[in-house]
């Protein structure tokens, strides 16, 4: 009887351990689900940060336009599409006439405002499928999706006319603006560098009159 009584607590302890194990086991799936949810949230947060950083790296430091690197990447993409499907696209290249005179006469703050003014005007007058980039300094380029030679030239002329009609008013002073512009079309036979050179040459010819 005494020995039997001594064995009873051991049986009770084993039962307690079993119950505790069951409780712990039942909590494990919930803890695992919570941890998985936390990890997914962390991955989503990091992915969003990466996308934001990539978008920031693509943007010009002053203007709401693509920088040269990002623009060239998009141009390569459009060239590959044109080469594959034989669909023409346009490339417009332009710079601001007498931009150095603006900086020297009105100051670099005015020059920055001219660039912003121009960028806004261009963005408002292109399609969502078109791509606008700042190539450096006061030089800009626009990729015109699904555009032949005639359409590209017509767009270039309309852009030049539009800029001429929209002077910048800076600190109460009206600053007249004009651009020299060149336009070409392509279907993928050329490399992007050769296309940019051809558009730049067309712009230079326009500048010389």
Q: What is the pLDDT of residues 38-95, one digit of tens each?
A: 756 656 564 554 444 455 589 999 999 999 999 999 999 999 999 999 999 999 999 9
Alpha-carbon span 120 to 22, nearest angstrom: 66
Alpha-carbon span 13 to 133, nearest angstrom: 76
- 163-177 pLDDT tens trace: 999 999 999 999 999
pLDDT value for 19: 56
CA angle at residue 117 from 111 to 120, to 5 degrees?
Answer: 145
Beta bridge partners of 169: 174
Proportion of the chain above pLDDT 70, given as a percent = 78
Alpha-carbon span 101 to 118, nearest angstrom: 16
State the catalytic residue, choosing from 138, 148, 200, 206.
138
Our answer to whether residue 104 is catalytic in this structure is: no
pLDDT value for 48: 52
> Considering only CA atoms, which of 203, 209, 57, 72 is closest in space to residue 138?
203
pTM: 0.74
Alpha-carbon span 14 to 137, nearest angstrom: 81
> Considering only CA atoms, which of 187, 180, 176, 183 is closest in space to residue 209?
180
pLDDT surpasses 70 at 179? yes
pLDDT surpasses 60 at 11? no
């Amino acid at each position: 009887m005494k020995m039997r009584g001594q064995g009873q607590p051991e049986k009770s302890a084993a039962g307690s351990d079993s119950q505790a194990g069951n409780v712990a086991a039942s909590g494990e799936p919930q803890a695992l689900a919570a941890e998985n949810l936390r990890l997914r949230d962390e991955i989503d947060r990091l992915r969003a940060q990466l996308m934001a950083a990539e978008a920031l790296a693509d943007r010009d430091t002053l203007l709401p336009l693509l920088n040269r690197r990002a623009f060239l990447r998009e141009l390569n993409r459009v060239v590959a599409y044109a080469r594959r499907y034989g669909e023409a696209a346009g490339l417009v290249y332009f710079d601001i006439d007498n931009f150095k005179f603006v900086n020297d006469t009105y100051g670099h703050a005015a020059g920055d405002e001219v660039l912003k003014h121009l960028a806004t005007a261009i963005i408002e007058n292109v399609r969502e499928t078109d791509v606008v980039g700042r190539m450096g300094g006061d030089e800009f380029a626009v990729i015109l999706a699904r555009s032949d030679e005639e359409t590209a030239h017509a767009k270039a002329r309309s852009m030049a006319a539009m800029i001429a009609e929209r002077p910048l008013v800076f600190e109460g002073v009206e600053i007249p603006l004009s651009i020299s512009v060149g336009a070409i079309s392509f279907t993928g036979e050329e490399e992007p560098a050769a296309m940019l050179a051809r558009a730049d040459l067309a712009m230079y010819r326009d500048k010389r009159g």
